[in-house]
Chain A
Amino acid sequence: MSAKLNALNSDSYTDVSQYRDQHFKGNRYEQEKLLKQSNTLYVGNLSFYTTEEQVHELFSKSGDVKRIIIGLDKVKKTACGFCFVEYYTRADAEHAMRFINGTRLDDRIIRTDWDAGFKEGRQYGRGKSGGQVRDEYRQDYDPARGGYGKLAQQHRPTETRNSF
């Protein structure tokens, strides 16, 4: 009776994306299963200055937040622009995917994605310089994410090294 119509059941904002964590310990099947059951979201494109408090305020709008882990530069141990948000229930995380993903935090459009679950070590950036990989190679200037990408910084003349 409660026949659902597949054509009307679209909930595309909660679909799993194409990204897969290459460091995931386990096979593809296990990863898929965890992603489908997960209560944890990866949040990307944060400003380096965005605080845990701001993340908590925004993500609490879709439900009770269990914990937030701010992503850190592996070398500097400072925020490097991503975090994990874990909810108590999957339903709350789904609401975040539907209504918080793609909106602004600290004036930046943030992106959320399903995560297989936080494990110690995953709070660190995996770029060579210690931050996120995306900050190694990008060419644009982003003042909220350390300015130019790391590779581009190496090619810049000594304008940043003047010390008077």
Chain B
Amino acid sequence: MSRRRHSDENDGGQPHKRRRTSEPIEIEDRLESLICRVGEKSTSSLESNLEGLAGVLEADLPNYKNKILRILCAVARLLPEKLTVYTTLVGLLNARNYNFGGEFVEAMIRQLKETLKNNLYNEAVYLVRFLSDLVNCHVIAAPSMVAMFENFVSVTQEEDVPQVRSDWFVYVVLSCLPWVGKELYEKKDVEMDRLLSQIEGYLKRRVKTHVPMLQVWTAEKPHPQEEYLDCLWAQIQKLKKDRWQERHILRPYIAFDSVLCEALQHNLPPFTPPGHMPDAQYPMPRVIFRMFDYTDAPEGPVMPGSHSVERFVIEENLHCIIKTHWKERKTCAAQLLSYPGKNKIPLNYHIVEVIFGELFQLPSPPHIDVMYTTLLIELCKLQPGSLPQVLAQATEMLYMRLDTMNTTCIDRLINWFSHHLSNFQFRWSWDDWSDCLTVDLEKPKPKFVKEVLEKSMRLSYHQRIVDIVPPTFSALIPAEPIFIYKYDESASSLPGYAVTITVGNAIKNRASNEEILTILKEVPNPNQEDDDDEGESFNPLKIDVFLQTLLHLAAKSFSHSFSALGKFHEILKTLTDSDEGKLHILKVVYEVWRNHPQMISVLVDKMIRTQVVDCAAVANWLFSQDMAHEFTRLFIWEILHSTIRKMNKHVQKIQKELEEAKDKLEKQQHKRRDSGDDEEMDKNSEDEEGQLEEQIERLQEKVESAQSEQKNLFLVIFQRFIMLLTEHLVRCETGSVDISTPWYKNCIERLQQIFLMHHVTIQQYMGTLENLLFTAELDHHILAVYQQFCALQL
């Protein structure tokens, strides 16, 4: 048995690039590699590596100056966690070649303008921070940096701009101060004091309506969930009080001080912040996630306090490492664990906190959820003696605070924990959580355990779950995911029973759709006294009989059920022609598979994709009275959000087709203009254009229709929420009962979740929402959610 290896063959596949050593591409790669990997895997010190590299680059400047400029600008933007390494390098180059230093600064300014123009605000922060650290390396003169900061802060004086705009400029200035505050204060303390006082004034008058919507916990204890600017301000205040003494940041340039202080400095050109543009997308506000403090790390180095600047720097750097390496989990884990200065901090705690902070971030995590699960597993592999314990401690803490945790975050915790456990044979000290058995099962703790067990079962099987939990937990074990067939042998007296037998046989004998429809005509319609001749009107019993039988025969697996839905698609379309039909089919699917929520989800997904039901029908079904008892279960919301996402993707797809058709038409028109006076070509071109124009018209209609359906879906969902919540609030008020039941907390946070998870789409319909639904007459509890959402964009 031979497995021919790919690289041994040369039979017409991709030609293997054979490069000669002097080719420009190879030199560029070499330079990139040298610069990106400076200091890595070396027995020499970082300083001596930098010295060596500076020498190499200086020698290469005559021939490769532009390449070197490009690479250095890129690392400034893309490797912020190694900021001071590269500012030192630039400092050394500037000391050896003043002109190069000047050109670098100019290139950075150009790059800064570009990033701002392209709405890359997070990267722009790194560029400004780089420039500010260049002050420490004697590349940029302190007064000119202060001048740039003054220009930034003056944005707070602008009127009629979104708050998130001025927020960003203030954030940039504050976030540079850990690196350069000391130097700037030494040179320009009066100006800096004025700057800080302006910032303080701005922060006092900022509106913070958005904060509750972004907090992971509603409780202030044990760690307040602070708004990000408030936290940073407190950290800078403390730094100032400590006379700008900052000891955490690695500063290689200190070792080169004698060389660098001989260098001539450049002045930053005056930089006017670009004006506000209507299509600007400033970063959304954030809440700083904290779950640990110095009391949580039992031995070893002490965790820096929540308002220490060290905490800010550590968290920034860890976030940057994840941002750089998230696609490569082994590298990411290794880079996190080799954080410089790790011996002075409880690094494992910081890493776990930062990772959970991202996983729980609202509206959504920076990266796909499953990345964090796999990254944590990778970290456990690399530090088997310490990290798993920290993770267990963290899980325990998160469990203990479930009562005040945001529902969306609890969802993510459920998914993370069950997936994590499935990689470790589901080993967990469940007995430690037996307190959850003593309270109402709708409370957050038992609910959490229940959902975790359900998800764990999906990744394994029912008996496994029975085996892994203590017998006391039996009330929380999910039901065995088996089909519930209404028309079994004991049900022979039920109306329609006889037809289930006939239909079942017909299906097994591969009868045609027409034959089956004929059989189904025999099903009496409980909604009518007499059948009309066609039997075409909505007949719930007919749907019940057919679908129960079909799904029963196909219950063996997902594939069997999908195949069944596909084979009898025509019949299903006929039966669900009306809105009531669509609602009823969903009802039947639920009834037969109510012990197998996973099956319900995939069947609903398939039925939407094959247009047996539409999205609005699914929404109406989930909010119907029949489903009220399941309303707080996770699978309901997974179905709803999946439905909304399908709707959104559908709209995007048709919009894309429309854009492509328009582009094609434009190209065609250009061709005709350029083709000259060839009559025949002209005529063909005209025909093609005519066809394209028709196509565009059709697509335009399709887009409008899809957008209308999308808007309607959101209206239905919001209307239903408002009805349910209002009912509850009124009932509580008249009964003088506290509104804060577990059901209410779930419902109001689910409403928040709709806004947060689909904010991009919902933005388009704000006008309608405000005029029709979220009006001033609404109960203030409900209106508050809407107002907090609006505040996110201001």
Contact = CB atoms under 8 A, between A and B. Distances in A.
Contacts of A68: 558-559
Interface size class of chain B, counting residues whose CB lies under 8 Å from the partner chain: 35 or more
Nearest to A70: B559
Interface string B300-336: 0000000000000000000000001001110100000
Contacts of A27: 11-12
B5 interface: yes
Interface string B725-752: 0000000000000000000000000000
B329 A52 contact: no
A18 B7 contact: yes
A99 B374 contact: yes
B36 A99 contact: no
B13 A29 contact: yes
Given A1-B114, A5-B32, A7-B32, A54 B370 contact: no
A8 B458 contact: no
A140 interface: no
Interface in A1-51: 1-8, 10-14, 18-20, 22, 27-29, 32, 51
B78 interface: yes
A95 B37 CA distance: 26
A15 to B, nearest CB: 11
A1 B78 contact: no
A57 interface: yes
B36 A8 contact: yes
B329 A13 contact: yes
B459 A52 contact: no
A61 interface: yes
A8 B79 contact: yes
B14 A106 contact: no
B373 A99 contact: yes
Contacts of B13: 28-29, 32
Contacts of B118: 1-2
A12 B332 CA distance: 13
A3 B370 CA distance: 28
Interface in B356-405: 368-371, 373-374, 377
Interface stretch (B198-206, B419-427, B484-492): B419-427
Interface string B209-240: 00000000000000000000000000000000
B485 to A, nearest CB: 19
A133 B419 CA distance: 31
A2 B111 CA distance: 9
Interface stretch (B67-75, B166-174, B180-188, B612-620): B67-75
Contact of B458 (A20, A57, A62, A104): A57
Interface size class of chain A, counting residues whose CB lies under 8 Å from the partner chain: 35 or more
B261 interface: no
A105 B559 contact: no
A56 to B, nearest CB: 6
B328 A99 contact: no
A43 B602 CA distance: 21
Contacts of A106: 460
Interface centre among B75, B371, B459 (most CB of A within 10 A): B459
A99 B371 contact: yes
A64 B639 CA distance: 12
Interface centre among A62, A67, A107, A133 (most CB of B within 10 A): A107
A53 B73 contact: no
Nearest to B7: A18
A68 B459 CA distance: 15
Interface in A72-103: 95, 98-100, 103
A132 B331 CA distance: 33
A69 B4 CA distance: 26
Given A13-B329, A103-B374, A57 B32 contact: no
Contacts of A19: 3
A160 B202 CA distance: 81
Contacts of A51: 461, 557
A51 to B, nearest CB: 7
Contacts of A11: 327-328
Contacts of B115: 1
A11 B458 CA distance: 30
A53 B327 contact: no
B394 to A, nearest CB: 20
A13 to B, nearest CB: 7
Contact of B559 (A22, A52, A103, A104): A52
B768 interface: no
Interface string B1-40: 1011111010111100000000000000100110011000
B558 A3 contact: no
A10 to B, nearest CB: 6
A58 B659 CA distance: 35
B391 to A, nearest CB: 16
Contact of A61 (B370, B425, B558): B370
Nearest to B25: A6
B513 interface: no
B31 to A, nearest CB: 10
Nearest to A107: B425
B37 A7 contact: yes
B460 A7 contact: no
B71 A95 contact: no
A5 B36 contact: yes
Contacts of A58: 419, 459
Contacts of B37: 7
Given A5-B71, A18-B6, A52-B559, A100 B370 contact: yes
Interface in B648-682: none
B598 interface: yes
B602 A56 contact: yes
A78 B5 CA distance: 30
Nearest to A9: B327
Contacts of A12: 328
Contact of A99 (B111, B370, B460, B461): B370
Given A11-B328, A27-B11, A32-B13, A6 B559 contact: no
A103 B423 contact: yes
B564 to A, nearest CB: 14
A61 B368 CA distance: 9
B459 A105 contact: yes
A67 B679 CA distance: 51
11 contacts: A5-B36, A10-B331, A19-B3, A20-B6, A28-B12, A58-B459, A61-B369, A64-B605, A64-B642, A99-B368, A103-B374
Given A13-B328, A62-B368, A105-B459, 20 more contacts: A3-B70, A4-B74, A5-B32, A5-B71, A5-B75, A5-B78, A7-B32, A7-B33, A7-B36, A10-B328, A13-B329, A51-B461, A54-B461, A56-B602, A61-B369, A61-B415, A67-B559, A99-B329, A100-B374, A104-B423
Q: Which 7 interchain pairs have the tightest Cβ spacing? A: A7-B36, A28-B13, A57-B458, A61-B370, A99-B374, A1-B114, A104-B423
Interface of B: 1, 3-7, 9, 11-14, 29, 32-33, 36-37, 70-71, 73-75, 78-79, 111, 114-115, 118, 324, 327-329, 331, 368-371, 373-374, 377, 415, 419, 422-423, 425, 455, 458-461, 557-559, 562, 598-599, 602, 605, 642
